[in-house]
Amino acid sequence: MTTTFEDAVLDTLFPGLGAIPPASRAGLDVASVLARHGGVLDAIAATAGGREAFAAADPARRAHLLAETERGTPAPVQALVLAVSALYHASAPVVEAYGWPSRPPQPQGFAVGAPGDEAEADGMLERVRARRQIWRG
C-alpha cells in the first residue's frame, strides 16, 4: 500500500496521458524502491513544506517542486526516477498503452520483413554493386 504522498510523487513522475495510466494506477510493486529512496522522498517533502502540502498541490506545482528538488540534489532524484521508470515502463498496462504486446519476447518472437522488401533491396543494391571496388589495397 502506498500513501497519498507517495502516490502524488509517483504520479508527478509519470502522470497518466490518454490511455496511459498514471504510475499510482499501473499496478507497480514499488514498496522496495520507495524504501530504498526514502531520503529523496524526504527531500521532496522538505521542498514542499511537508508531505501533506506536496500531496495537496496541483500537478503543475508538484512538477515544479520536484524539479526544484532535482536541481538541489540531482543524482538521488535521478536515481529514483530511473528506478520507478524501469518498473513503470515494464508494466503490462503501460507497455500495452504504448501499443506493444506485454508478453515476453520468447517463445513467439516477432515477424520482420514485408513481401516486397527483397526485390526493392536488390534493385537498390544493384547500384551499389556497380561501383565494383571502394576498398583500398
Partner 1 sequence: MSVKRLEPVDVVVVGAGLGAAAFTRHLVEEAPSLSVVVLERGGWVDRAALPAFRADFQRDVLGPYATSPNVRLAAGGIAPSADYAVDDSQSDFKPLMWSGVGGSTINWAAHFPRFHPSDFRTRSLDGVGDDWPFTYRDLEPFYDLNDARFGIAGLPGDPAYPPKPARPMPPIALGRLGMTAARGFDRLGWHWWPVDSAINSRAHAGRPGCNHCGPCQQGCVTGAKASTDMTHWPEAIARGVEMRTGAVVLQVEIEAGRVTGVTYRTAEGDLFQPAATVVVAGNGIGTARLLLASGVSSPALGCNLMYHGAGYVRGFFAEDLDGPVGPTGCAIYSHEFYETDRSRGFVRGVHLQATRENPLAVQAARLPRPWGEEAHAALLREFRHSMAILVVNEDLPEHENHVGLTGETAPDGLPGVKVVYRLSDHSRRALDFGLDRAEEMLRAAGAVETVRVPLAPFTGWHLLGTARMGTDPLTSVTDGSGRVHGVSGLLVADGSLFTTSAAVNPGSTIGALATKVADDFARLVA
Site string for partner 1, 30-49 (x = CB under 8 A): --------------------
Binding span for partner 1 by CB under 8 A among 31-39, 40-48, 50-58, 83-91: 83-91
Which DSSP letter does residue 37 get?
T
- Cis geometry, peptide bond prior to residue 22 (ω within 30 degrees of 0): no
Q: Give the span between the Cα atoms of 120 and 106, in whole angstroms.
A: 30
Q: Does 15 bind partner 1 (CB under 8 A)?
A: yes
CB of 99 to partner 1, least distance (A): 7
Rounded Cα distance between 135 and 81, Å, is 47
Residue 134 binding partner 1, by CB under 8 A: yes
Q: Does 119 bind partner 1 (CB under 8 A)?
A: no
CB of 132 to partner 1, least distance (A): 6
CA distances from 13 to 58, 66, 103, 107, 114 (A): 14, 8, 25, 33, 39
Please, what is the minimum distance in Å from the beta carbon of residue 4 to partner 1? 19
